Amino acid sequence: MQTVADEVGVSRSTVSNAYSRPDQLSPELREKIFDAARRLGYAGPDPAARSLRKGRVGAIGVLFSATLSYAFTDPYAVQFLRGLAETAELHDTGLLLMPLAEDATAAAAAVQNAVVDGFCVYCLPDWHSAQAAMRLRKLPVVSSERRDAGDPEARFVAIDEAAATLAAGRYLAALGHRRIALIADWIVPERETRPVATARPEDVPYYVSRERLAGYRDAFAEVGVEWPEIATVNAAQNSRAAAAQAASCVLDRAPRPTAILAVSDMLALGVLDALHTRGLRPGRDVSVIGFDDIPDATTAGLTTVRQPALEKGRQAGALLLNPPEDLAQRQVVLPTELVVRASTGPAPDA
Amino acid sequence: MQTVADEVGVSRSTVSNAYSRPDQLSPELREKIFDAARRLGYAGPDPAARSLRKGRVGAIGVLFSATLSYAFTDPYAVQFLRGLAETAELHDTGLLLMPLAEDATAAAAAVQNAVVDGFCVYCLPDWHSAQAAMRLRKLPVVSSERRDAGDPEARFVAIDEAAATLAAGRYLAALGHRRIALIADWIVPERETRPVATARPEDVPYYVSRERLAGYRDAFAEVGVEWPEIATVNAAQNSRAAAAQAASCVLDRAPRPTAILAVSDMLALGVLDALHTRGLRPGRDVSVIGFDDIPDATTAGLTTVRQPALEKGRQAGALLLNPPEDLAQRQVVLPTELVVRASTGPAPDA
DNA sequence: TTGAAAGCGATACCAT
DNA sequence: ATGGTATCGCTTTCAA
């Protein structure tokens, strides 16, 4: 096969330089090489070969536990990804989306074979086989959860989940709410919508739900409402429909809770749907609180905990692509804020 | 450095086989090799090296002209990607998201350096520098638009855009509508929301808008409404807000159009917003029609053209990862359907 | 400014 | 069932 180097009568190094280090050769020669390349249909250095040689791929793997469509259905996720993409673009890096199959072996294989420079873990349950597979790769990993904080090498950009719901819970407790229901996804690993009375927060396998539930537990414990008195319902997934169904489990039996607390706005909106169906008034008959502060929360008048999704994504990207020397600075905790709207109010029986 | 092969006392080929062709060696030896690997912290074959050797990367590049967040804000896009991801997963392939920068050079470079087995083009204007860069790579490309239909090698999964809006336009014409306004993004390359009176459909640089506008032009020409009589407004982007602003351009001057036709549901919803603001009744005072049939269209009672987004994505993936032998079968045109809801009705002055 | 040669880390093919 | 060897296509170092 006729190579560009042969055609021009130079060495392969020189052709390589023409593409990657223009300052290393004369402009005329460079042009001559490009000419020949065009003639021969050579498109420039092969990215795979270049990756092997340079040890850099130009892509980071984004791990999802869910299907793509769930991931992108949640505006919070979209904002996070957008921030990540912004930073990635600055570093000439693409995002390799890796929706992980249910099949643990397949998921681990996907992680093992991913052609990436690092991983961004987002919404991945602790028990997932991909977690272990990632560690093996010895690539940098950044998490959007406060994970392995004990490990000084761990990188994350997180929020203080438990503190956020502690504050939200105290606010509700102060309003007099004592009959409480919590709705979360992955309280149990099964994807079923049903009450899961026995679980303690510590038993919840999914970090985010675990922490947020713990915050609520602590808040209500302060006013004498113990954990077993609080109804907990597992949502099959982080969707409005699942949450509406979950809400049914507690709304359709007496005594009805005076407040329903969801670990995400998507879930909280579903709770509002369930109230609406029953002619119940949010903030009057039943208070509802969410988490994230997605745009629809404003429209719906949903009280919620705001977290900086976009900024989380941006900083996650930076932690991966341009990590600070100081290890401590690789563990970022961003602030949250309780945003009170119309969906919460004094407990009706207070 | 101590290699796994050395440690076990076998050749590199055998180690390779242990990972990639388990049937080629005894289970005991395989276990011994994995043991040694674990001890030495070897994570298995390096994906970059393997890609180079095998000539397969296990990823396809998804090209966007827009930012990630716009792409994922549109439910139509999300469905398409979901279908693509479904097929990709079946073939152990990831999706490399490539939001292309405005900067033409950077975009071309991104395409040149992407470590992928093929490209899926989605929502990329014809003039974009990435188009040419892709051709150079000589990788398979699938488009979600009926592109280069003359080229027998071209692969696409599309709909007949013009036929779809021709049908929709005829439906409106039959309802008596004669004063028409069209709203589309990229009627002109500039991202500005403003009337663009002079453009003929043929001049529109973005394929999708061009075709859809042409279909509407033909429909109304049939009832004697010529193109110059039809108001066309460019939307800065495919968003509700931009469309609401675009609608203002035609709603706030007399005589008001009796029908506003948008090339996407996102835009059409924005038009409904604008009507709502002015106390105008959709389907009575002003008829509105969209395109895509996203879920919100149902809720909003929006008349629209349904296209099979999920299926488009699925088949696009198949065309890339498992192409049929027969070239003709690589050019798929899926059906569309006019879905009539409450946002359209007889022209008020008819 | 240019060239020669040594890998990057794996796999395919052919022997044994 | 296992090993030897060539090779994938490039970049890098060092020498000319």
Q: Write out chain A residues lying below 8 Å of B51, CB-based.
A: 48, 51-52, 115
Q: Is B12 exposed, middle or buried (0-12, 13-18, 19+ CB in 10 A)?
A: exposed
Give whole-number Cα distances, A291 to A169, A296, A336, in Å: 12, 12, 10
Decide if A73 touches B, using CB distance below 8 A: yes
* Residue stretches of chain A with pLDDT short of 50: none
Q: Name the residue with the least CA to C1' distance from nucleotide C13.
A: B13
pLDDT at position A68 is 65
Picking from A52, A78, A98, the nearest residue to B69 by CB comes out as A78
Report the C-alpha gap between B266 and B304 in whole angstroms: 11
**Cβ-defined contact of B52 to A47 (cutoff 8 Å):** no
- Please list every residue in chain A whose beta carbon sits closer than 8 Å to the beta carbon of residue B116: 47
Instruction: Tell whether the model's pLDDT for residue B350 goes beyond 60.
Output: no
| CATH T-level topology, domain B56-160+309-334 | Rossmann fold (3.40.50)
Burial A228-266 (b: 16+ CB within 10 A, else e): eebbbbbbbbbbbebbbbbbbbbbeeeebbbbbbbbbbb
Instruction: Say whether the CB atom of A50 is under 7 angstroms from strand D.
Output: yes
Dist CA A172 CA A346 (whole Å): 8
Domains B2-45 and B161-307 share a fold: no
pLDDT the model gives residue B180? 97
CB-strand contact A44/D, under 7 Å: yes
- Amino acid in the structure at residue A289: I
Helix (H, G, I), strand (E, B) or coil at A205: coil
A53 touches strand C (CB under 7 A): yes
Distance between first and last Cα of chain A:
85
Kindly state the percentage of chain B with pLDDT values over 90.
71
Strands A231-235 and A194-195: antiparallel
pLDDT at A177: 98
Is the previous residue joined to A75 through a cis bond, with omega within 30 degrees of 0? no
Asked if strand C comes closer than 7 Å to B22 Cβ, the answer is no
Q: Where are the domains of chain B?
A: 2-45, 56-160+309-334, 161-307
- Cα–Cα distance measured from residue B202 to residue B215, given in angstroms and rounded to the nearest whole number: 11
| A334 touches A157 (CB < 8 A) | yes
- Chain A nearest-CA distance from B169, in A, is 32
Q: Which amino acid belongs to residue A91?
A: H
Report the distance separating Cα B29 and Cα B21, nearest Å: 13
User: Is nucleic acid strand D under 7 Å from B10's C-beta?
Assistant: yes
CATH of B161-307, one of 3.40.50.620, 3.40.140.10, 3.40.50.2300, 3.40.50.720: 3.40.50.2300
**Neighbour-count burial of A155, counting CB atoms closer than 10 A to its CB (0-12 exposed, 13-18 middle, 19+ buried):** buried
Is the CB of A10 less than 7 A from some atom of nucleic acid strand D?
Answer: no
Q: What is the mean pLDDT of residues B132-141?
A: 91
| Run of H or E including B205 | none
Q: What is the pLDDT of residue B67?
A: 66
Of A49, A101, A110, the CB nearest to B52: A49
Q: Which residue is nearest to nucleotide D5 (CA to C1')?
A: B13
Of A43, A48, A82, the CB nearest to B68: A82
Q: Which nucleotides of C are covered by protein (CB under 7 A)?
A: 1-5, 7-13
Say how far apart CA B290 and CA B210 lie, in whole Å. Answer: 15
A10 CA to C2 C1' in angstroms comes to 8
Of all residues in chain B, the one with the smallest CA distance to A80 is B69
How far is A158 from A309, CA to CA, in rounded Å? 10
Mutation for testing the A interface, residue in B50, B79, B82 having most A CBs under 10 Å: B82
- pLDDT number for residue A306: 98
pLDDT of amino acid B120: 95
C-alpha–C-alpha distance, residues A47 and B169, integer Å: 47
Mean of pLDDT over chain B = 92
Q: What is the mean pLDDT of residues B76-88?
A: 90
Contact residues on chain A for B98, CB-CB shorter than 8 A: 94
Which of the residue ranges A35-49, A81-95, B76-90, B314-328 has the most confident prediction, judged by mean pLDDT? B314-328
Rounded to whole angstroms, the maximal C-alpha distance in chain B is 90
Separation of alpha carbons B348 and B290, rounded Å: 20
Please tell me the predicted confidence (pLDDT) of residue B72.
73
Burial class (CB in 10 A: 0-12, 13-18, 19+), A212: buried
Beta bridge partners of A121: A63, A143
Size of interface A-B (CB pairs under 8 A): 132
The per-residue pLDDT for A297 is 97
Which A-chain residues 87-116 have CB contacts (< 8 A) with chain B?
89, 92, 94-99, 101, 106, 109-110, 112-116
- Give A329's DSSP letter: G
Residues of A in contact with B79 (CB under 8 A): 69
Shortest Cα distance from B83 to chain A (angstroms)? 9
A47/B48 Cβ within 8 A: no
What pLDDT shows up at residue A56? Answer: 93
- For B2-45, which CATH class? mainly alpha
Closest residue in B to A63 (Cα–Cα)? B94
What are residue B259's DSSP bridge partners?
A: B180, B287
Residue of B nearest to A113 (CA): B47
- Which stretches within chain B are classed as H helix? 4-8, 12-20, 27-40, 47-54, 68-73, 75-90, 104-113, 129-137, 161-174, 207-221, 240-251, 265-277, 295-300, 309-321
Q: Which residue has the tokens 């905790």?
A: A333
> Which nucleotide comes closest to A56 if you measure CA to C1'?
C8
User: Nearest nt to B5, CA vs C1'?
Assistant: D3
H helices of A231-341, in order, are 240-251, 265-278, 295-300, 309-321
Strand partners, B142: B120, B155
Q: CA of A142 and C1' of C13: distance in angstroms?
A: 41
| pTM higher than the cut 0.95 | no
**Whether the Cβ atoms of residue B255 and residue B181 lie closer than 8 Å to each other:** no
Q: Is the CB of B24 under 7 A from strand C?
A: no
Q: Residue B68: its chain A contacts at CB < 8 A?
A: 78, 81-82, 85, 95
Q: How confident is the model at residue B259 (pLDDT cuts 50, 70, 90)?
A: very high
Q: What is the pLDDT of residue B35?
A: 92
Name beta bridge partners: B96.
A96, B61
Please write the tens of the pLDDT for every residue from B91-128: 989 999 987 777 888 888 889 999 999 999 988 877 78
For chain A, list the strands marked E by DSSP: 59-64, 94-99, 119-121, 141-143, 155-159, 180-185, 194-195, 231-235, 259-262, 287-289, 304-306, 331-334, 337-339
Could you give the CA distance from residue A44 to residue A32 in angstroms, rounded to a whole number? 14
Q: Which chain B residues are within 8 Å of A113, Cβ to Cβ?
A: 47, 50, 58, 92
pLDDT of residue A67: 66
d(CA B6, C1' C15) / Å: 21
Phi-psi region of B308 (alpha: psi -120 to 50; beta: other; left: phi over 0): beta
Nearest to A59 among B69, B72, B96 (CB): B96
Q: What is the pLDDT of residue A317?
A: 97
C-alpha distances out from residue A252 to A233, A256, A257, A261, A275, Å: 13, 7, 10, 16, 11
pLDDT at B125: 78
